[in-house]
Amino acid sequence: MYQLLIKNANIIDGSGKKPFIGDVAIESGKIVSVQATISTSAKTTVDAKKMVLAPGFIDSQNHSDSYWQLFSNPGLHSLIAQGYTTLLVGSSGTSLAPLISNESLRSVQKWQSTSGLNVNWRSFKEYTDQLSIMKFGSNIVSLVGYSTIRRGLLGDSIHPPTQAELETLLSVLDTSFQEGAVGVSVGLQYSHELNITDVELVAIAELCAKRGKLLAASLRNEDVNVINSARELTALAEQTGVNLKVSHLKIRHKSNWPLLTELLDSFESAYHRGAKVHFDCYPYTYTWQPLYTFLPNWSLEGGRTHLLERLNNEETRKRILSSLTNHPANLAALIIASTANGLKVNGKTISQIAQSMSMTSEEAILNLIKNGGATTLVFDESLDMGTVMILCNHSLSFIGTNGGGFDLPHGDKLVHPRSFGTAPKFLRQVIDSKSISLEEGIAKLTSRVAKTIGLKSKGLIASEYDADLVLFDPTKIDSKASVANPYQFPIEIEGVWINGEKVVQKGVPTGTLEGKYLKS
Protein backbone atom coordinates (compact mmCIF):
# COMPACT_ATOMS: atom_id res chain seq x y z
CA MET A 1 0.00 0.00 0.00
CA TYR A 2 1.39 3.37 -1.06
CA GLN A 3 1.43 6.58 0.98
CA LEU A 4 -0.26 8.48 -1.87
CA LEU A 5 -1.54 7.62 -5.33
CA ILE A 6 -2.43 10.34 -7.84
CA LYS A 7 -4.43 8.87 -10.71
CA ASN A 8 -5.57 10.06 -14.12
CA ALA A 9 -3.17 13.02 -14.22
CA ASN A 10 -1.94 14.92 -17.25
CA ILE A 11 1.71 14.48 -16.27
CA ILE A 12 4.19 17.15 -17.32
CA ASP A 13 7.30 15.66 -15.78
CA GLY A 14 9.60 18.72 -15.84
CA SER A 15 11.96 17.40 -18.50
CA GLY A 16 10.43 19.38 -21.35
CA LYS A 17 9.00 16.22 -22.90
CA LYS A 18 5.40 16.01 -24.04
CA PRO A 19 2.74 15.33 -21.38
CA PHE A 20 1.01 11.99 -20.94
CA ILE A 21 -1.94 10.67 -18.94
CA GLY A 22 -0.86 8.46 -16.08
CA ASP A 23 -0.63 7.64 -12.39
CA VAL A 24 2.03 8.56 -9.83
CA ALA A 25 2.69 6.53 -6.68
CA ILE A 26 4.44 7.98 -3.62
CA GLU A 27 5.93 6.15 -0.65
CA SER A 28 8.02 7.57 2.24
CA GLY A 29 8.11 10.98 0.60
CA LYS A 30 9.54 9.69 -2.69
CA ILE A 31 8.05 9.01 -6.10
CA VAL A 32 8.28 5.23 -6.53
CA SER A 33 6.32 4.63 -9.72
CA VAL A 34 5.09 6.57 -12.75
CA GLN A 35 2.94 4.48 -15.10
CA ALA A 36 -0.06 4.67 -17.39
CA THR A 37 -2.06 2.77 -14.77
CA ILE A 38 -1.19 1.74 -11.20
CA SER A 39 -3.59 -0.68 -9.56
CA THR A 40 -1.97 -0.98 -6.12
CA SER A 41 -4.01 0.66 -3.36
CA ALA A 42 -2.86 3.64 -1.29
CA LYS A 43 -3.67 5.28 2.03
CA THR A 44 -4.76 8.35 0.06
CA THR A 45 -5.88 8.30 -3.57
CA VAL A 46 -6.45 11.49 -5.58
CA ASP A 47 -8.31 11.58 -8.88
CA ALA A 48 -6.53 14.30 -10.86
CA LYS A 49 -9.33 14.40 -13.46
CA LYS A 50 -6.75 14.99 -16.21
CA MET A 51 -5.52 18.21 -14.63
CA VAL A 52 -1.81 18.98 -15.02
CA LEU A 53 0.51 17.34 -12.50
CA ALA A 54 3.95 18.97 -12.46
CA PRO A 55 7.01 18.82 -10.22
CA GLY A 56 7.02 21.34 -7.39
CA PHE A 57 8.26 24.69 -8.64
CA ILE A 58 11.73 25.91 -7.64
CA ASP A 59 12.19 29.64 -7.07
CA SER A 60 15.58 30.64 -8.48
CA GLN A 61 15.55 34.11 -6.89
CA ASN A 62 13.96 34.52 -3.47
CA HIS A 63 14.22 37.02 -0.61
CA SER A 64 12.29 35.32 2.19
CA ASP A 65 15.44 35.47 4.32
CA SER A 66 16.34 39.13 3.75
CA TYR A 67 12.67 40.10 4.23
CA TRP A 68 12.90 38.15 7.52
CA GLN A 69 9.92 36.03 6.49
CA LEU A 70 11.70 32.75 7.29
CA PHE A 71 11.33 33.70 10.93
CA SER A 72 8.24 35.93 11.06
CA ASN A 73 6.16 33.90 8.58
CA PRO A 74 7.74 30.43 8.15
CA GLY A 75 4.57 29.16 6.46
CA LEU A 76 5.58 31.22 3.38
CA HIS A 77 1.98 30.99 2.21
CA SER A 78 2.19 33.34 -0.77
CA LEU A 79 4.88 31.11 -2.31
CA ILE A 80 3.56 27.66 -1.52
CA ALA A 81 0.10 28.71 -2.77
CA GLN A 82 1.72 29.34 -6.18
CA GLY A 83 3.32 25.90 -6.19
CA TYR A 84 6.83 26.89 -5.11
CA THR A 85 8.08 23.97 -3.02
CA THR A 86 11.78 24.95 -2.95
CA LEU A 87 13.28 28.44 -2.60
CA LEU A 88 16.80 29.67 -3.35
CA VAL A 89 17.45 32.42 -0.79
CA GLY A 90 20.54 34.52 -0.09
CA SER A 91 19.86 36.57 -3.22
CA SER A 92 21.08 39.95 -4.50
CA GLY A 93 24.27 39.96 -2.47
CA THR A 94 22.47 39.56 0.85
CA SER A 95 22.24 36.59 3.19
CA LEU A 96 21.74 36.36 6.95
CA ALA A 97 25.21 34.88 7.47
CA PRO A 98 28.13 34.96 7.94
CA LEU A 99 28.01 37.90 10.33
CA ILE A 100 31.62 39.05 10.59
CA SER A 101 30.72 42.26 12.40
CA ASN A 102 27.72 44.39 13.32
CA GLU A 103 27.91 45.92 9.83
CA SER A 104 27.08 42.58 8.16
CA LEU A 105 23.32 42.73 8.62
CA ARG A 106 23.15 46.26 7.23
CA SER A 107 23.04 44.75 3.75
CA VAL A 108 19.45 43.74 4.67
CA GLN A 109 18.26 47.25 5.47
CA LYS A 110 17.37 48.19 1.90
CA TRP A 111 14.37 45.84 2.26
CA GLN A 112 13.88 45.31 5.99
CA SER A 113 14.64 47.41 9.04
CA THR A 114 17.35 45.80 11.15
CA SER A 115 16.13 47.53 14.28
CA GLY A 116 15.31 44.93 16.90
CA LEU A 117 16.59 41.96 14.90
CA ASN A 118 18.02 39.35 17.25
CA VAL A 119 20.17 36.51 15.95
CA ASN A 120 22.08 33.73 17.69
CA TRP A 121 24.60 32.87 14.98
CA ARG A 122 27.74 34.20 13.38
CA SER A 123 28.99 31.68 10.83
CA PHE A 124 27.09 30.29 7.87
CA LYS A 125 27.10 26.89 9.58
CA GLU A 126 25.59 28.29 12.78
CA TYR A 127 22.92 30.01 10.70
CA THR A 128 21.99 26.91 8.73
CA ASP A 129 22.10 24.81 11.90
CA GLN A 130 19.32 27.09 13.15
CA LEU A 131 17.39 26.67 9.89
CA SER A 132 17.85 22.90 10.12
CA ILE A 133 15.83 22.66 13.33
CA MET A 134 12.96 24.69 11.85
CA LYS A 135 10.09 23.74 9.54
CA PHE A 136 8.87 25.90 6.67
CA GLY A 137 6.10 26.03 4.13
CA SER A 138 8.67 25.45 1.36
CA ASN A 139 12.09 23.83 1.25
CA ILE A 140 15.02 26.23 1.62
CA VAL A 141 18.45 26.23 -0.02
CA SER A 142 20.80 29.18 0.36
CA LEU A 143 23.44 31.19 -1.39
CA VAL A 144 25.84 33.30 0.64
CA GLY A 145 25.54 37.04 0.02
CA TYR A 146 28.76 38.74 -0.99
CA SER A 147 27.62 42.13 0.30
CA THR A 148 26.99 40.56 3.70
CA ILE A 149 30.60 39.36 3.77
CA ARG A 150 32.04 42.54 2.26
CA ARG A 151 30.23 44.95 4.56
CA GLY A 152 31.10 42.80 7.55
CA LEU A 153 34.78 43.17 6.72
CA LEU A 154 35.03 46.61 5.08
CA GLY A 155 32.18 48.33 6.93
CA ASP A 156 30.18 51.08 5.24
CA SER A 157 33.19 52.25 3.27
CA ILE A 158 32.98 51.79 -0.50
CA HIS A 159 36.50 51.10 -1.74
CA PRO A 160 38.40 48.34 -3.54
CA PRO A 161 39.80 45.85 -1.03
CA THR A 162 43.53 45.62 -0.51
CA GLN A 163 45.16 42.33 -1.45
CA ALA A 164 45.05 41.26 2.19
CA GLU A 165 41.37 42.21 2.48
CA LEU A 166 40.53 40.37 -0.74
CA GLU A 167 42.24 37.23 0.55
CA THR A 168 40.17 37.47 3.74
CA LEU A 169 36.95 38.00 1.77
CA LEU A 170 37.66 34.93 -0.36
CA SER A 171 38.59 32.89 2.71
CA VAL A 172 35.27 33.70 4.40
CA LEU A 173 33.45 32.94 1.14
CA ASP A 174 35.21 29.60 0.78
CA THR A 175 34.39 28.69 4.37
CA SER A 176 30.71 29.44 3.69
CA PHE A 177 30.87 27.15 0.65
CA GLN A 178 32.29 24.39 2.82
CA GLU A 179 29.52 25.03 5.36
CA GLY A 180 26.75 24.46 2.82
CA ALA A 181 26.18 27.53 0.65
CA VAL A 182 25.28 26.38 -2.89
CA GLY A 183 26.87 29.49 -4.33
CA VAL A 184 27.30 33.22 -3.89
CA SER A 185 25.11 36.14 -4.91
CA VAL A 186 26.52 39.50 -5.95
CA GLY A 187 24.21 42.51 -6.25
CA LEU A 188 26.23 44.60 -8.68
CA GLN A 189 23.48 47.22 -8.98
CA TYR A 190 23.65 48.16 -5.28
CA SER A 191 25.96 50.83 -3.94
CA HIS A 192 28.31 48.58 -1.93
CA GLU A 193 28.91 46.23 -4.87
CA LEU A 194 28.45 48.54 -7.84
CA ASN A 195 32.15 49.41 -7.85
CA ILE A 196 33.52 45.89 -7.40
CA THR A 197 36.60 45.72 -9.63
CA ASP A 198 37.28 43.18 -12.35
CA VAL A 199 40.03 41.69 -10.20
CA GLU A 200 37.63 41.10 -7.32
CA LEU A 201 34.87 39.74 -9.56
CA VAL A 202 37.22 37.35 -11.36
CA ALA A 203 38.55 36.09 -8.02
CA ILE A 204 34.99 35.37 -6.82
CA ALA A 205 34.11 33.59 -10.07
CA GLU A 206 37.30 31.52 -10.07
CA LEU A 207 36.61 30.34 -6.53
CA CYS A 208 33.03 29.42 -7.48
CA ALA A 209 34.28 27.48 -10.50
CA LYS A 210 36.91 25.71 -8.41
CA ARG A 211 34.33 24.63 -5.81
CA GLY A 212 31.56 23.86 -8.33
CA LYS A 213 29.32 26.59 -6.89
CA LEU A 214 26.78 28.91 -8.53
CA LEU A 215 27.48 32.59 -9.11
CA ALA A 216 24.20 34.55 -9.07
CA ALA A 217 24.81 38.15 -10.10
CA SER A 218 22.64 41.07 -11.10
CA LEU A 219 23.72 43.43 -13.85
CA ARG A 220 25.50 46.63 -12.83
CA ASN A 221 23.09 48.53 -15.04
CA GLU A 222 19.66 47.57 -16.40
CA ASP A 223 18.98 50.54 -18.66
CA VAL A 224 21.25 52.48 -21.01
CA ASN A 225 24.34 50.37 -20.22
CA VAL A 226 22.53 47.03 -20.08
CA ILE A 227 24.50 45.54 -23.00
CA ASN A 228 27.94 46.27 -21.54
CA SER A 229 26.73 45.04 -18.16
CA ALA A 230 25.53 41.76 -19.66
CA ARG A 231 28.73 41.29 -21.66
CA GLU A 232 30.77 41.84 -18.51
CA LEU A 233 29.13 38.83 -16.86
CA THR A 234 28.95 36.54 -19.89
CA ALA A 235 32.65 37.22 -20.56
CA LEU A 236 33.35 36.39 -16.92
CA ALA A 237 31.57 33.05 -17.36
CA GLU A 238 33.60 32.30 -20.48
CA GLN A 239 36.88 33.31 -18.86
CA THR A 240 36.48 31.41 -15.59
CA GLY A 241 34.11 28.55 -16.42
CA VAL A 242 31.81 29.58 -13.57
CA ASN A 243 28.18 28.46 -13.52
CA LEU A 244 26.47 31.86 -13.91
CA LYS A 245 22.87 32.91 -13.29
CA VAL A 246 22.07 36.53 -14.00
CA SER A 247 19.37 37.61 -11.58
CA HIS A 248 16.10 39.35 -12.54
CA LEU A 249 17.22 40.22 -16.08
CA LYS A 250 15.32 43.15 -17.50
CA ILE A 251 15.60 46.25 -19.68
CA ARG A 252 14.38 49.39 -17.97
CA HIS A 253 12.88 52.49 -19.60
CA LYS A 254 11.26 52.72 -23.02
CA SER A 255 14.24 54.24 -24.82
CA ASN A 256 16.25 51.10 -24.06
CA TRP A 257 13.68 48.42 -24.98
CA PRO A 258 15.04 48.16 -28.57
CA LEU A 259 18.26 46.73 -27.06
CA LEU A 260 16.52 43.38 -26.47
CA THR A 261 17.96 41.54 -29.50
CA GLU A 262 21.50 42.65 -28.70
CA LEU A 263 21.02 41.71 -25.04
CA LEU A 264 19.89 38.19 -25.87
CA ASP A 265 22.72 37.81 -28.38
CA SER A 266 25.24 38.41 -25.59
CA PHE A 267 23.86 35.40 -23.71
CA GLU A 268 23.31 33.18 -26.74
CA SER A 269 26.78 33.80 -28.16
CA ALA A 270 28.47 33.01 -24.86
CA TYR A 271 26.32 29.91 -24.40
CA HIS A 272 27.16 28.59 -27.87
CA ARG A 273 30.85 29.11 -27.11
CA GLY A 274 30.47 26.83 -24.10
CA ALA A 275 29.78 29.24 -21.26
CA LYS A 276 27.41 28.08 -18.52
CA VAL A 277 25.03 31.04 -18.54
CA HIS A 278 21.37 31.40 -17.60
CA PHE A 279 19.17 34.18 -16.32
CA ASP A 280 15.91 34.48 -14.43
CA CYS A 281 13.08 36.96 -14.79
CA TYR A 282 9.51 37.60 -13.66
CA PRO A 283 6.38 38.36 -15.74
CA TYR A 284 5.65 41.88 -14.48
CA THR A 285 6.20 45.40 -15.81
CA TYR A 286 6.77 46.89 -12.35
CA THR A 287 9.95 46.81 -10.31
CA TRP A 288 9.87 47.14 -6.50
CA GLN A 289 12.94 48.79 -5.06
CA PRO A 290 14.30 51.16 -2.43
CA LEU A 291 13.58 54.77 -3.30
CA TYR A 292 17.19 55.75 -2.63
CA THR A 293 18.35 53.62 -5.60
CA PHE A 294 17.12 56.42 -7.90
CA LEU A 295 19.77 58.74 -6.46
CA PRO A 296 23.20 59.15 -8.10
CA ASN A 297 25.75 56.59 -6.91
CA TRP A 298 28.15 59.19 -5.54
CA SER A 299 25.47 60.44 -3.13
CA LEU A 300 25.18 56.99 -1.52
CA GLU A 301 28.86 56.51 -0.72
CA GLY A 302 29.41 55.95 2.98
CA GLY A 303 25.85 54.84 3.65
CA ARG A 304 22.75 56.58 4.97
CA THR A 305 24.54 58.78 7.50
CA HIS A 306 26.61 60.42 4.78
CA LEU A 307 23.60 60.58 2.45
CA LEU A 308 21.64 62.56 5.04
CA GLU A 309 24.59 64.92 5.44
CA ARG A 310 24.57 65.51 1.68
CA LEU A 311 20.81 66.13 1.71
CA ASN A 312 21.29 68.74 4.44
CA ASN A 313 24.06 70.47 2.49
CA GLU A 314 22.67 73.03 0.04
CA GLU A 315 25.31 72.46 -2.66
CA THR A 316 25.16 68.65 -2.71
CA ARG A 317 21.37 68.70 -2.40
CA LYS A 318 21.19 70.80 -5.59
CA ARG A 319 23.47 68.32 -7.38
CA ILE A 320 21.21 65.43 -6.33
CA LEU A 321 18.07 67.31 -7.43
CA SER A 322 19.69 68.03 -10.79
CA SER A 323 20.45 64.34 -11.23
CA LEU A 324 16.85 63.42 -10.44
CA THR A 325 15.53 66.01 -12.91
CA ASN A 326 17.46 64.23 -15.68
CA HIS A 327 16.61 60.70 -14.53
CA PRO A 328 15.21 58.40 -17.28
CA ALA A 329 12.49 57.07 -14.98
CA ASN A 330 9.09 58.72 -14.71
CA LEU A 331 9.70 59.72 -11.11
CA ALA A 332 6.33 61.43 -10.69
CA ALA A 333 4.56 58.11 -11.39
CA LEU A 334 6.46 56.07 -8.79
CA ILE A 335 4.04 54.48 -6.31
CA ILE A 336 4.98 54.27 -2.63
CA ALA A 337 4.85 50.68 -1.38
CA SER A 338 6.07 51.23 2.16
CA THR A 339 7.71 53.76 4.44
CA ALA A 340 8.77 53.95 8.04
CA ASN A 341 8.19 56.54 10.74
CA GLY A 342 4.41 56.58 10.44
CA LEU A 343 4.11 58.35 7.10
CA LYS A 344 0.66 57.72 5.61
CA VAL A 345 1.55 57.69 1.93
CA ASN A 346 1.50 54.03 0.87
CA GLY A 347 -0.29 53.55 -2.45
CA LYS A 348 0.16 57.19 -3.46
CA THR A 349 2.26 58.40 -6.37
CA ILE A 350 5.19 60.76 -5.96
CA SER A 351 3.18 63.30 -7.97
CA GLN A 352 0.26 63.13 -5.54
CA ILE A 353 2.58 63.50 -2.56
CA ALA A 354 4.42 66.40 -4.19
CA GLN A 355 1.18 68.25 -4.92
CA SER A 356 -0.01 67.81 -1.34
CA MET A 357 3.28 69.26 -0.08
CA SER A 358 3.51 72.04 -2.70
CA MET A 359 6.87 70.90 -4.01
CA THR A 360 8.34 69.23 -7.08
CA SER A 361 8.43 65.46 -7.48
CA GLU A 362 12.21 65.53 -7.10
CA GLU A 363 11.96 67.47 -3.84
CA ALA A 364 9.28 65.07 -2.59
CA ILE A 365 11.60 62.13 -3.24
CA LEU A 366 14.36 63.67 -1.13
CA ASN A 367 11.83 64.49 1.58
CA LEU A 368 10.63 60.87 1.64
CA ILE A 369 14.16 59.48 1.73
CA LYS A 370 15.00 61.79 4.60
CA ASN A 371 11.84 61.26 6.65
CA GLY A 372 10.59 57.85 5.54
CA GLY A 373 13.59 55.79 6.54
CA ALA A 374 16.04 53.63 4.60
CA THR A 375 13.36 51.07 3.76
CA THR A 376 11.08 53.36 1.75
CA LEU A 377 10.12 51.15 -1.21
CA VAL A 378 8.45 52.09 -4.48
CA PHE A 379 6.88 50.52 -7.56
CA ASP A 380 8.28 51.70 -10.89
CA GLU A 381 6.49 50.70 -14.11
CA SER A 382 9.57 50.85 -16.33
CA LEU A 383 9.32 47.54 -18.19
CA ASP A 384 7.54 46.45 -21.38
CA MET A 385 5.41 43.30 -21.14
CA GLY A 386 6.32 42.18 -24.66
CA THR A 387 10.02 42.42 -23.83
CA VAL A 388 9.48 40.77 -20.46
CA MET A 389 7.73 37.76 -21.99
CA ILE A 390 10.39 37.31 -24.68
CA LEU A 391 12.92 37.10 -21.83
CA CYS A 392 10.70 34.75 -19.80
CA ASN A 393 10.15 32.47 -22.81
CA HIS A 394 13.81 32.35 -23.85
CA SER A 395 15.53 28.97 -23.75
CA LEU A 396 18.15 30.20 -21.24
CA SER A 397 15.67 31.64 -18.73
CA PHE A 398 14.21 30.51 -15.43
CA ILE A 399 11.17 32.06 -13.72
CA GLY A 400 12.02 33.48 -10.29
CA THR A 401 9.79 35.57 -8.06
CA ASN A 402 12.47 37.92 -6.71
CA GLY A 403 9.94 38.10 -3.87
CA GLY A 404 9.23 36.62 -0.45
CA GLY A 405 6.73 34.54 1.45
CA PHE A 406 3.83 36.53 2.92
CA ASP A 407 0.44 35.72 4.40
CA LEU A 408 -2.98 37.20 3.63
CA PRO A 409 -3.32 39.17 6.91
CA HIS A 410 -1.21 42.31 6.49
CA GLY A 411 -0.71 45.92 7.44
CA ASP A 412 -0.65 48.84 5.03
CA LYS A 413 2.64 47.82 3.39
CA LEU A 414 2.27 46.94 -0.30
CA VAL A 415 4.47 44.08 -1.50
CA HIS A 416 5.16 43.27 -5.13
CA PRO A 417 2.42 41.01 -6.57
CA ARG A 418 5.16 38.65 -7.80
CA SER A 419 5.35 37.33 -4.23
CA PHE A 420 1.80 35.99 -4.73
CA GLY A 421 1.46 35.45 -8.45
CA THR A 422 4.65 34.85 -10.45
CA ALA A 423 4.24 31.19 -11.42
CA PRO A 424 0.50 31.20 -12.23
CA LYS A 425 0.79 34.50 -14.12
CA PHE A 426 3.64 33.10 -16.21
CA LEU A 427 1.79 29.83 -16.89
CA ARG A 428 -1.40 31.69 -17.85
CA GLN A 429 0.54 33.73 -20.39
CA VAL A 430 2.28 30.62 -21.76
CA ILE A 431 -1.03 28.79 -22.17
CA ASP A 432 -2.84 31.74 -23.75
CA SER A 433 -0.06 32.92 -26.08
CA LYS A 434 1.20 29.46 -27.12
CA SER A 435 4.57 31.12 -27.74
CA ILE A 436 6.23 28.17 -26.02
CA SER A 437 4.75 24.85 -24.97
CA LEU A 438 3.41 24.32 -21.47
CA GLU A 439 5.97 21.56 -20.92
CA GLU A 440 8.73 24.05 -21.81
CA GLY A 441 7.26 26.54 -19.34
CA ILE A 442 7.16 23.91 -16.60
CA ALA A 443 10.81 22.97 -17.26
CA LYS A 444 11.77 26.61 -16.59
CA LEU A 445 10.16 26.34 -13.16
CA THR A 446 11.54 22.92 -12.25
CA SER A 447 14.29 20.67 -13.65
CA ARG A 448 16.43 23.38 -15.22
CA VAL A 449 16.59 25.32 -12.00
CA ALA A 450 17.32 22.14 -10.03
CA LYS A 451 20.19 21.24 -12.37
CA THR A 452 21.73 24.71 -12.15
CA ILE A 453 21.53 24.83 -8.35
CA GLY A 454 22.59 21.20 -7.95
CA LEU A 455 19.39 19.74 -6.45
CA LYS A 456 19.69 16.12 -7.52
CA SER A 457 16.35 14.76 -6.26
CA LYS A 458 14.06 17.61 -7.30
CA GLY A 459 12.59 19.04 -10.47
CA LEU A 460 11.25 15.89 -12.16
CA ILE A 461 8.36 13.48 -11.81
CA ALA A 462 10.40 10.30 -11.90
CA SER A 463 11.18 7.34 -9.66
CA GLU A 464 13.42 8.12 -6.67
CA TYR A 465 12.72 11.86 -6.89
CA ASP A 466 11.19 13.75 -3.96
CA ALA A 467 7.40 13.81 -4.11
CA ASP A 468 7.13 17.60 -4.45
CA LEU A 469 4.18 18.09 -6.78
CA VAL A 470 1.74 20.70 -8.10
CA LEU A 471 -1.73 19.88 -9.50
CA PHE A 472 -3.53 22.62 -11.42
CA ASP A 473 -6.26 23.27 -13.96
CA PRO A 474 -4.54 24.66 -17.08
CA THR A 475 -7.78 26.15 -18.40
CA LYS A 476 -8.21 28.45 -15.40
CA ILE A 477 -4.93 28.87 -13.48
CA ASP A 478 -4.12 32.55 -13.00
CA SER A 479 -2.84 35.16 -10.59
CA LYS A 480 -5.20 37.57 -8.83
CA ALA A 481 -2.47 39.69 -7.19
CA SER A 482 -2.05 43.30 -8.31
CA VAL A 483 -0.04 46.34 -7.29
CA ALA A 484 -3.14 47.83 -5.65
CA ASN A 485 -4.03 44.56 -3.89
CA PRO A 486 -1.14 42.07 -3.89
CA TYR A 487 -2.41 39.97 -1.00
CA GLN A 488 -4.42 37.43 -3.00
CA PHE A 489 -3.72 33.75 -3.63
CA PRO A 490 -3.83 32.46 -7.22
CA ILE A 491 -6.78 30.49 -8.56
CA GLU A 492 -7.16 26.90 -9.77
CA ILE A 493 -4.16 25.35 -8.06
CA GLU A 494 -5.89 22.21 -6.86
CA GLY A 495 -3.13 20.84 -4.67
CA VAL A 496 0.53 21.09 -3.70
CA TRP A 497 2.53 18.34 -2.00
CA ILE A 498 5.95 18.30 -0.36
CA ASN A 499 7.39 14.84 0.23
CA GLY A 500 3.94 13.45 -0.51
CA GLU A 501 2.25 15.53 2.21
CA LYS A 502 -0.42 17.98 1.11
CA VAL A 503 0.44 21.59 1.88
CA VAL A 504 -2.12 23.35 -0.36
CA GLN A 505 -5.74 22.22 -0.76
CA LYS A 506 -7.86 23.90 -3.45
CA GLY A 507 -5.64 26.97 -3.52
CA VAL A 508 -5.37 27.47 0.24
CA PRO A 509 -2.33 26.49 2.36
CA THR A 510 -3.24 23.75 4.84
CA GLY A 511 -0.90 25.09 7.52
CA THR A 512 1.20 21.93 7.39
CA LEU A 513 4.92 22.77 7.43
CA GLU A 514 6.75 20.12 5.42
CA GLY A 515 9.59 22.26 4.08
CA LYS A 516 13.08 22.10 5.53
CA TYR A 517 16.55 23.50 4.99
CA LEU A 518 18.30 21.40 2.35
CA LYS A 519 21.96 20.83 3.14
CA SER A 520 24.30 21.13 0.19
Residue 123 near residue 96 (C-beta atoms within 8 A): no
Q: Which residues, 6 or more positions from 342, have their beta carbon under 8 angstroms from its beta carbon?
A: none
Q: Which residues, 6 or more positions from 289, have their beta carbon under 8 angstroms from its beta carbon?
A: 377, 378, 380
pLDDT at 190 over 70: yes
The amino acid present at 374, given as its one-letter code, is A
- What count of other Cβ atoms lies within 10 Å of the Cβ of residue 366? 21
Average pLDDT across the chain, whole number: 95
Torsion angle (degrees, nearest 10) of CA 339, 343, 346, 349 = -100
Tell me what pLDDT residue 409 has. Answer: 87
Rounded distance, CA 14 to CA 22, Å?
A: 15
Rounded distance, CA 97 to CA 105, Å?
A: 8
Write the pLDDT tens digit of every residue in 192-219.
787 899 999 999 999 999 999 999 999 9
Tell me what pLDDT residue 380 has. Answer: 98
Rounded distance, CA 154 to CA 169, Å?
A: 9
Q: Which residues, 6 or more positions from 478, have their beta carbon under 8 angstroms from its beta carbon?
A: 424, 425, 428, 490, 491, 492
Tell me what pLDDT residue 410 has. Answer: 86
Whether the model clears a pTM of 0.85, i.e. scores above it, the answer is: yes
Write the pLDDT tens digit of every residue in 101-160.
887 777 666 656 666 677 899 999 999 999 999 999 999 999 999 999 999 998 877 788
Q: Which domains does the chain have, with CATH numbers?
A: 2-54+461-509 (2.30.40.10), 57-285+382-453 (3.20.20.140), 290-380 (no CATH)
Mean pLDDT, to the nearest integer, of 495-501?
Answer: 99
Q: Which of 206, 87, 200 is nearest to 516 (CA)?
A: 87
Judging by DSSP bridges, how do beta strands 57-59 and 469-472 pair with one another? unpaired
Q: Which residues pair with 4 in a beta bridge?
A: 26, 44
Write the pLDDT tens digit of every residue in 331-378.
999 999 998 877 889 999 999 999 999 999 999 999 999 988 777 999
